Structures are given as structure tokens and as C-alpha cells.
């Protein structure tokens, strides 16, 4: 994995701002893995894992999140155990097979490509249905839409076991009232917000330096942050 520089992150942020989270994730990982052209076919949990690694390289290991207690509205702070998450999700086998309700079902772990088709395609539909590659009962093919609820639940559970970071949830306890609940962590949203805050800070620095010295944006961005900060401090004196 390579770590994109500040100017590149600004370009990605610019392009990704109007896009949905899955496309933002693909933009970031394409910059981190420029030699790979198959990122959209990685399982969602593995994509989340790589986003966590990228986030650690860009913004460090600690990730503190705030959540409102649903019972008493106290603001609860939690430090997400990011290093522990990384142990949970290596790239899993792509194709799987189960037998349920007399049906042999072959399926694959949901990928970014599946997610985009399920949410943006001309025929949007259930993500789970897109993971079913084939189903067969007594030698007769069964369409995904005709599979029983128990079979679909079994497929869903098998996906959760094989690709645990596809859905990241944490148990929360409110220190004020003791209420317990579960909160989801959408790593791309967290990372994108951090990149946005960084982009806004850098752009305001560029604006001040361009105004003061007449330098071009590309030249200012090509400087190290140490050198930019030095000029900014000099402007303050
Ligand atoms: Zn509470």
C-alpha cells in the first residue's frame, strides 16, 4: 500500500465529494493500490480492512468516536479498538457453498461492485440476492428470489463469519444511565470526514499563502507541511 500525499488527497476529496461512500472508498484504495485493477471485486470486509490501514497511515492509530445515548442523550465517548479489528479480516475465499432447506447454494462474499449495482444499477435490488451465484434443489435450478428465508439467513450468517469487517458494530454502555446498545462504525465515513477536515485546513493555508506571496496552488501544495507552516508563522509575526 502506498500513502497518497496531501495534493493527491485534495484531488480525491474534490472528485469524491458528490459521490456515495462506496465510490469514495474505491477512489481512495485506487490511489493506495495504483497497480491493482480489481479493487471493486474485493469483499466489503477486506475493503474496510484496507481503509482502516490507510486511515492509520494518514491520521494515526487512535480513533475516538462520540455517540448520543439513546436513553438519556448523554454524549458517550468510545475509543475504537482499531488494531484488534485488523486481526479479524484477511482476504477470505471468494466463493462459498452451503446446503439449506434441501437446496445447494453457491454464493460469493459481497463486493464493492455488488454494492454499487445494488444501490446505483438500473435494476437496484437486495445486496444479498446479488451474492447468490447458483442454487439448485433436486437437480433443478432455483432463482435467488425463490429461496426460503432460512436459506437466505444461513447465507447471511456465513458471509458475516467469513468477512466480519463488512459490518462493524460496537457494544456501547452509557456511563450515566447504564443503557446498553450497539453502534455501527462506517469506516469510509469516518475517514472521509477526517480527509475533509484536513482538506479544508490545507486549502485555507494555501489561500493565505497565495494571497500573501502570489504563489500558485500547485507550488504551495508541493511544499512540505513544515515549510508551509514556517511561512504561515512568518506571516503571523
Ligand atoms: Zn444514558
Does 1 fall in a domain?
no
- pLDDT value, residue 80: 82
Does 14 fall in a domain?
yes
Please give the tally of structural domains in the chain. 2
Residues around ion ligand 1, judged by CB within 5 A, are 69, 71-72, 74, 174, 176-177, 179
CA of 88 to the centre of ligand 1 (A): 30
> Comparing C-alpha atoms, which of 85, 46, 56, 42 is closest to residue 163?
46
Report DSSP letters for 96-159, one per residue.
EEEEETTEEEEEE--BHHHHHHHHHSSS---HHHHHEEEEEETTEE--GGGS-HHHHHHHHHHH
End of a domain among 143, 162, 181? 162
- pLDDT value, residue 207: 95
- pLDDT value, residue 20: 93
In the numeric block, the cell 477486506 is attached to 46
Do 76 and 102 lie in one domain? The reply is no
Do 74 and 177 lie in one domain? The reply is yes
Tens digits of per-residue pLDDT, 131-173? 999 999 999 999 988 999 999 999 999 999 999 999 998 889 9
CA of 75 to the centre of ligand 1 (A): 8
Do 78 and 102 lie in one domain? The reply is no
CA of 65 to the centre of ligand 1 (A): 16
In angstroms, the Cα distances linking 211 to 214, 229, 231 are: 6, 15, 12
- pLDDT value, residue 92: 67
Read off the C-alpha cell for 117: 449495482
CA of 162 to the centre of ligand 1 (A): 34
Domain with 212, as residue range(s), is: 6-88+171-233
CA of 78 to the centre of ligand 1 (A): 14
- pLDDT value, residue 105: 95
- pLDDT value, residue 89: 63
CA of 174 to the centre of ligand 1 (A): 5
Does 111 fall in a domain?
yes
- pLDDT value, residue 225: 87
CA of 66 to the centre of ligand 1 (A): 13
pLDDT < 70: residue spans in the chain: 88-92, 121-125
Does 46 fall in a domain?
yes
In angstroms, the Cα distances linking 180 to 75, 94, 168, 173, 185 are: 13, 35, 17, 5, 16
Do 217 and 104 lie in one domain? The reply is no
Amino acid at each position: 500500500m502506498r500513502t497518497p500525499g496531501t495534493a493527491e488527497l485534495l484531488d480525491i476529496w474534490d472528485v469524491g465529494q458528490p459521490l456515495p461512500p462506496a465510490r469514495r472508498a474505491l477512489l481512495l484504495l485506487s490511489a493506495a493500490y495504483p497497480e491493482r485493477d480489481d479493487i471493486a471485486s474485493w469483499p466489503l470486509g477486506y475493503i474496510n480492512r484496507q481503509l482502516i490501514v490507510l486511515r492509520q497511515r494518514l491520521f494515526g492509530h487512535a480513533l475516538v468516536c462520540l455517540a448520543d445515548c439513546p436513553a438519556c442523550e448523554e454524549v458517550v465517548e468510545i475509543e475504537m479498538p482499531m488494531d484488534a479489528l485488523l486481526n479479524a479480516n484477511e482476504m477470505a475465499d471468494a466463493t462459498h457453498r452451503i446446503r439449506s432447506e434441501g437446496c445447494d447454494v453457491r454464493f460469493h462474499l459481497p463486493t464493492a461492485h455488488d454494492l454499487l449495482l445494488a444501490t446505483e444499477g438500473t435494476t437496484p435490488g437486495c445486496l444479498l440476492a446479488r451474492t447468490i451465484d447458483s442454487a439448485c434443489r433436486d437437480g433443478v435450478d432455483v432463482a435467488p428470489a425463490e429461496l426460503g428465508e432460512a436459506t437466505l439467513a444461513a447465507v447471511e450468517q456465513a458471509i458475516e463469519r467469513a468477512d466480519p469487517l463488512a459490518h462493524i458494530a460496537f457494544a456501547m454502555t452509557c456511563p450515566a444511565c447504564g443503557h446498553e446498545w450497539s453502534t455501527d462504525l462506517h469506516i469510509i465515513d469516518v475517514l472521509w470526514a477526517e480527509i475533509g477536515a484536513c482538506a479544508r485546513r490545507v486549502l485555507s493555508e494555501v489561500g493565505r499563502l497565495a494571497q500573501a506571496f502570489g504563489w500558485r496552488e500547485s507550488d504551495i501544495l508541493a511544499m512540505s507541511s513544515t515549510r508551509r507552516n514556517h511561512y504561515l508563522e512568518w506571516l503571523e509575526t
